[in-house]
Amino acid sequence: MRLPALTELSPRQKEISDRITARRGGTRGPFLVWLRSPGLCEKVEALGAYCRFESALDPRLRELSLLIAARHFDAQYSWNAHVGKAADLGVSREALTELAENKEPHFTNRDEQITYQFSSEILNDHFVGDETFAAALSEFGEQGLVDLIGSLGNFSMLAMLLNTFQVDLQPVEPPFPDVRGYAKVTRHNQPRVGQVPPSSPTRGCGTRREPDREART
């Protein structure tokens, strides 16, 4: 952890910490960072609680969206904390292993595949294609699709906080082959989740197109 331990809490920090503990069983991990900004912590915790416990998405897809964002941002803490929950809710362990290894995951359920396709496109390309959008809207409805975007945004913010402040990792085997501690071990020729190597003749979901040569000059 890059910040010193919180040894004394202000009355406002203690109020928020007590509320977090009541809802989540303890104030730990990222909340020990969020508490440095009590007002933000209160709102972030409420948003996170909605995304994890109350959103229109199936709980299985809530956990999957968190893991997709975690893998995109190399957030090992989030992955370690939630991969077992996703598996317990029915997401294929084989698909989660493929996701962790930056391979194209083979999900067994249609809604999981749509979640992955949609999430990969918005995270990698910053846009969502018409076909993917239509499939997601049909599968999740308007509220579910809005909640999916909210979940990806919330879990992406969480991942950035964890990595920036280097929140202490759990004492488990590193989940990602290209990350050790808080550093990449392979920086080149490593495709992102949902992408294929440039030499491949086909493109997976979320692959960014290269601009035309004329546009680059």
Q: What residues does 210 pair with on adjacent strands?
A: none
Do 28 and 107 have their domain in common?
no
- Are 49 and 69 part of one and the same domain? no
> In this prediction, what percent of the chain has a pLDDT beyond 70?
85
- Residue 133: inside a domain, yes or no? yes
Contact 95, 106 (CB under 8 A): yes
Q: Give the number of domains in the chain.
A: 2
Q: pLDDT, tens digit, for every residue of 143-199?
A: 999 999 999 999 999 999 999 999 999 999 999 999 999 999 975 445 555 554 444
Percent of the chain at pLDDT > 90 equals: 82
Same domain, 70 and 138: yes
* One domain, residues 48 and 114: no
Decide if 198 is inside a domain.
no
pLDDT higher than threshold 80 for residue 83:
yes
72 and 83 both lie in a single domain: yes
Read off the tokens for 87. Answer: 């598996």
Q: What is the DSSP letter of 183?
A: E
Name the DSSP class of 211. P
The domain spanning residue 85 has which CATH number? 1.20.1290.10
pLDDT at 216: 39
Q: What is the pLDDT of residue 139?
A: 98
Classify residue 9 as exposed, middle or buried by CB count within 10 Å of its CB (0-12, 13-18, 19+): middle
CB 108 within 8 A of CB 92: yes
Per-residue pLDDT, 193: 55
Residue-level pLDDT at 195: 53
184: three-class secondary structure by DSSP:
strand
Domain extent for 28: 11-54
